[in-house]
Amino acid sequence: MEGLVSEDVCKKRGYFCLPISDRAPKQSEWKDEERPEVKLSFDKTENMIWKIAKSEILTIRENVKKSLNCGGSRPSIKDIESLFFGPASKLSSIFQAQLEIDPKTFMKFMSTLHLAKELTIPILHDGRIITED
């Protein structure tokens, strides 16, 4: 996983990044700025967060469609699952490496995860993944 990235890398990847400063300003460099009158508001955060979430959801949907070459059509669950967890998936490789399991065991794990989610039962026992058939 990456840590901080430079502004150039952010712009190239289309990310929004805050600029990284090599040093913090010294106290002698601090400046007082005139600010408008402070106003308190309530219940605006939820609306703002929802707008951000909707924007992110739409971006993810578009990126998935591009990755699957769906054009205007809606991708199937099988297409999406293959994209994120299929044999060629980077995410699948990361999970397998972190969990130290082979692809077959990983697919059993994902199947168990989906089934457990539907049945609302745990899939871990004493911190270990339950993979028995």
Question: Region 14-18: what's the mean pLDDT?
Answer: 65
SS3 call for 110: helix
Q: For 2, phi and psi rounded to 5 degrees?
A: -85, 150
**Cα within 13 Å of Cα(12), Cβ side:** 5
Q: What is the pLDDT of residues 48-70, one digit of tens each?
A: 888 999 999 999 888 888 888 87
Q: Which domain holds residue 59?
A: 49-75
More confident residue, 128 or 75: 75
Tokens linked to 133: 């058939």
Whether 113 contacts 85, CB under 8 Å = no
Do residues 55 and 91 share a domain? no
pLDDT given for residue 66 in this prediction: 85
Helices 77-85 and 45-68 pack at an angle, to 10 degrees, of 90
Do residues 90 and 131 share a domain? yes
Do residues 93 and 69 share a domain? no
Q: How many domains does the chain have?
A: 2
